[in-house]
Amino acid sequence: MLRFETAGESHGECLVATLIGLPAGVPVSVDYVDRQLWRRQQGFGRGGRMKIETDRARIISGVRHSQTIGSPIAVLIENKDWKNWQNILPVESKDADRGEHKPVVRPRPGHADLPGAIKYNYADARYILERASARETTARVAIGALAKTFLSQFGIEVLSHVIGVGPVHLQRPARWEEIVALSQRDDVLLGCVDAETENRMKGAVDHAYRTGDTVGGVFEVVAHGLPAGIGSHITWDTRLDGRLAQAIVSIQAVKGVEIGEAEHGAQSYGSDVQDTIHYDKEAHAFHRGSNRAGGLEGGITNGEDLIVRGFLKPISTLRRPLESVDLPTREPALAAYERSDVAVVPAAGVIGEAMVALVLAQAFLEKFGGDSLLETKRNFDGYAAQVRSF
Ligand code: EPS
């Protein structure tokens, strides 16, 4: 089983991720991992923190001579901002603790501040927001990059693009080549394949900047090159759609997920929604008349592109704060404001890629197993031959 965990707080010393169960022999490029970390930091609407941080992965175990060796992989990413916080959030309350606390006592509507403080019985939400922060996703992106590298060994690529920012939506389907080109750009605006739409998206973020507000949106993750047969219909927890939904909604600020054209499907009749089945006798392959199912039927991949969307609410830290309550006095008060982002939709897409890649790598290894990449490939090739002769 492929397992992963993260640790780390927004203003702690570093973020940590472990990834256990990747076969030995997977080539690893730290530059590639860092490129994914860089992509997560981009986009018009990011806050001041991204000017402080230059996220870099330090792989401390599980990789030698640019290959996985089968042992648990641990990755560290330093928080450069730690130097400004080490006296505020010291590990031990000794000499270093000069009483420089930064309590958060006016919880932000929409944030984990208040439910977390109640749950953990804190008078100050600081410890809650430190972990609830989306800074944690840096660690997910680092190990997600390893999952993506693993999948690429089998011709599977996972990328994302932005299809909505606030009220502005991309009105046409994106071609895979456009999504690939977007991921190679060194200048990231809002991660949309259509320049005119992207400019209007920028207008929505500009409006949020001007008014002290924030804005959400929709990203789409596409996994290209998947074989049919990953995931399973047999139990609720092996269905790939359910596993992907959890992975996407677990991303900070994501409140909804859509696989394929779920919302449109719910408003339509069956004859307008199902993807018709066709067979190419020369290529000996099935294909579909459309891909409204988003590449999944019965919780199993069907060989079409996997399409998963994440719906982000606007970030809950507002420069023009909303009504809240002062925890010590219980009097009405405006919510706390701490340096924050205004819009993060392209970054959330990169995090979505990482989560989709991790879930796909898990399901892939459940099907094909293998302690070494060679063994996994042999098992995969055997299955591919079986599918060809189906
Ligand atoms: C960050 C995401 C956001 C930023 C954070 C860095 O976290 P949150 O979910 O808490 O709003 O605000 O930066 C800061 C906390 C800061 O000090 O500016 C990220 O994705 O790296």
Q: In the prediction, which pLDDT does 106 show?
A: 98
For residue 204, name the pLDDT band (cuts at 50, 70, 90): very high
What is the sign of the dihedral through the CA atoms of 381, 385, 386 and 390? positive
| DSSP secondary structure letters along 291-319 | -TTTTEETTEE-SSPEEEEEEEPPPS--S
Question: 224: CA distance to ligand 1 center in Å?
Answer: 31
Q: For the chain, give the mean pLDDT.
A: 97
Which position has the token pair 């409204």?
Answer: 292
pLDDT of residue 171: 97
Total Cβ atoms within 10 A of residue 22: 27
Asked whether residue 98 carries a pLDDT value surpassing 70, the answer given is: no
What is the rounded CA–CA span in Å between residue 128 and residue 252?
13
Q: How far is the CA of 47 from the centre of ligand 1 (A)?
A: 8
Domains and CATH numbers, the chain: 3-260+295-388 (3.60.150.10)
96 by DSSP, 3-state: which?
coil
Question: Nearest C-alpha to atom 21 of ligand 1 is from which residue?
Answer: 135
The per-residue pLDDT for 267 is: 97
Q: What's the pLDDT band for 95 if we cut at 50, 70, 90?
A: low
Digit-coded pLDDT (tens) for 328-340 = 999 999 999 989 9
Separation of CA 48 and ligand 1 centre (Å): 9
Whole-model pTM?
A: 0.97
Start-end of H helices in 213-256: 240-249
Among 108-122, 212-226, 278-292, the range scoring the smallest mean pLDDT is 278-292
Task: Ligand 1: list residues with CB < 6 Å.
Answer: 10, 47-49, 81, 133-135, 137-138, 252, 317, 339-341
